[in-house]
Amino acid sequence: MSDDYSKVLLDESEMPTQWYNVIPDLPAPPPPPLHPGTLEPIGPDDLAPLFPMALILQEVSGDSYIDIPGEVLDVYRLWRPSPLLRARRLEQELDTPAKIFLKYEGVSPAGSHKPNTAVPQAYYNAQEGVTRLTTETGAGQWGSALAFATAQYGLECEVWQVRASYDQKPYRRTMMEVWGARVHPSPSDLTESGRAVLAAEPSSPGSLGIAISEAVEQAAQREDTRYALGSVLNHVLLHQTIIGEEALLQLAKVGETPDVLVGCTGGGSNFGGLSFPFLREKLAGRMDPVIRCVEPASCPSLTRGEYRYDFGDTGQLTPLVKMHTLGHSFIPDPIHAGGLRYHGMSPLVSHLYELGLVEAESIHQNECFAAALRFARTEGILPAPEPTHAIAAAVREALRCKESGEEKVILTALCGHGHLDLAAYEKYLAGELVDYDYPEEKIAEAMANVPVLA
Ligand SMILES: *Cc1c(COP(=O)(O)O)cnc(C)c1O
């Protein structure tokens, strides 16, 4: 390939046909989820009311590779393989010797990486006779991905959307409805969890934790219904590894290996998806990238949270999972990166952080949007608010290279476009974006509600 390329593409025939499971390659497995009543590790049967068995088995699988079903590959091919972009014009603008690569997931129907797991989740549910899926959505990215995926396999889809974004992002809701989903604002009066929150705070803006409780409660009550989660769980990160597997092939085509890999982390799925195949290469001694998570300064679960067993949701309906948490009752400030407003972090990413295999940093939203504008004005693409964090971290790294003269190869995931997030850009351009202080007291209050295990 000549050396002036701007993107690296794969042929459809080169698309990977297996997902990669990082767990068997780790020095120790992550601690198991616990039943909140017995505090014993949960078994597959405990999860059966919520998930189809195929996904439960993937959640605990000891296999390094899992075949992607043909019916899933067929749907993946609607947009995959996704392009790997080389941000030459941004590099020039930054006057850096670094090379910046971005794996672009905004080309999917829903505009983010979320369909990579929504599609197999819908597929396995349909295979096991489930006819209806419930879920929560924050910014609307996950809800729209699942609405698209359920439409592919003829399932019903019901989505609890966090009230604040339900009101602020009417177009995401319309998108879900176009694909046939039903959307409720959360908290809603349709569930006990929702009614309890509304009783205490009638004008609650909602949170991901509350919306999860509502969707889980609905799924647990009906035999034909299961629940789907768009991040955090092992099987979700597994499905996202198609991102990193493709990126490995694409970088190989241009003879590069990453020195630094950065990714934004809400629940950890786009980060895990990009980084795990590279972590495999690193653990095998074939490359040695620094791998770094980037999180919002106002919801810094890795850099400031505690590594504890906590609930995944506000209503305490989920198993206890060991993760970096700010407390399940923590409601983050309303930053625009709705997908990064989660109190916890994937247990697997948390475990890697504890093992010292990944690093983390946090960044305020004004720095993120400043970097996003630099990116949009040079490279053209308008990033979703979440990956503005990844871009800001890549810019930081590239500017450090400018100082040191190092020609590092920086790889990140541009995990979604921001065409439905223009309200955030409008605020930024008007100088109205707030950088929230670290919410010390709110976190202390929420941490006091985290169960203390003997
Ligand atoms: C959901 C979402 C995120 C956050 O979730 P992760 O599991 O951390 O990837 C980040 N970016 C976009 C575009 C999203 O839709």
150 vs 332, higher pLDDT: 150
Q: Whose CA is nearest to atom 3 of ligand 1?
A: 339
Averaged confidence pLDDT in the chain: 95
Instruction: Give the pLDDT score at 335.
Output: 77
Candidate of 142, 324, 340, 358 to mutate for ligand 1, largest count of ligand atoms within 8 Å of Cβ? 340
Instruction: Give the pLDDT score at 284.
Output: 97
Residues 190 and 288 in one domain: no
Residues 284 and 353 in one domain: yes
Widest Cα–Cα separation across the chain: 64
Name the DSSP letter for residue 205: -
Residues 216 and 307 in one domain: no
Are 261 and 291 in contact, with CB atoms under 8 Å apart? yes
The pTM is what?
0.96
Give the pLDDT confidence of 74-115 residue by residue, as tens digits: 999 999 999 999 999 999 999 999 999 999 999 999 999 999
Residues 202 and 345 in one domain: no
Residue 52 lies in a domain: yes
Q: Residue 14: which pLDDT band, with cuts at 50, 70 and 90?
A: very high
Last residue of a domain, one of 206, 231, 256: 231
Angle separating helix axes 208-221 and 192-200, nearest 10 degrees: 150
Residues 87 and 176 in one domain: no
Last residue of a domain, one of 199, 231, 263: 231
Q: Ligand 1 centroid vs 266 CA: distance in angstroms?
A: 6
Alpha helix (H) residue ranges in 222-323:
234-253, 269-283, 301-304
CATH number of domain containing 56: 3.40.50.1100
Q: Ligand 1 centroid vs 269 CA: distance in angstroms?
A: 7
Last residue of a domain, one of 172, 207, 231: 231
Q: Which of 193, 200, 357 is nearest to 272 (CA)?
A: 357
| Amino acid identity at 445 | E
Q: Ligand 1 centroid vs 454 CA: distance in angstroms?
A: 34
Residues 194 and 307 in one domain: no
Domain that holds residue 182: 34-66+113-231
Q: Ligand 1 centroid vs 267 CA: distance in angstroms?
A: 7
Q: Are strands 182-186 and 156-162 parallel, antiparallel or unpaired?
A: parallel
Q: Is the pLDDT of residue 169 over 90?
A: no
Q: Whose CA is nearest to atom 11 of ligand 1?
A: 386
Q: Is the CB of 179 under 6 A from ligand 1?
A: no
Instruction: Give the pLDDT score at 139.
Output: 83
Q: Is the CB of 141 under 6 A from ligand 1?
A: yes
Q: Ligand 1 centroid vs 340 CA: distance in angstroms?
A: 7
Residues 223 and 156 in one domain: yes
Q: What are phi and psi of 402, to 5 degrees?
A: -60, -40
Candidate of 264, 353, 358, 414 to mutate for ligand 1, largest count of ligand atoms within 8 Å of Cβ? 264
Residues 106 and 205 in one domain: no
Are 181 and 157 in contact, with CB atoms under 8 Å apart? yes
- In this structure, of 131-135, 274-278, 444-448, the range with the lowest mean pLDDT score is 444-448
Residues 376 and 257 in one domain: yes
Q: Ligand 1 centroid vs 16 CA: distance in angstroms?
A: 22
Q: Ligand 1 centroid vs 426 CA: distance in angstroms?
A: 21
Are 346 and 325 in contact, with CB atoms under 8 Å apart? no
How many structural domains comprise the chain?
2
Instruction: Give the pLDDT score at 1.
Output: 61
Residues 140 and 209 in one domain: yes
Q: Whose CA is nearest to atom 13 of ligand 1?
A: 416
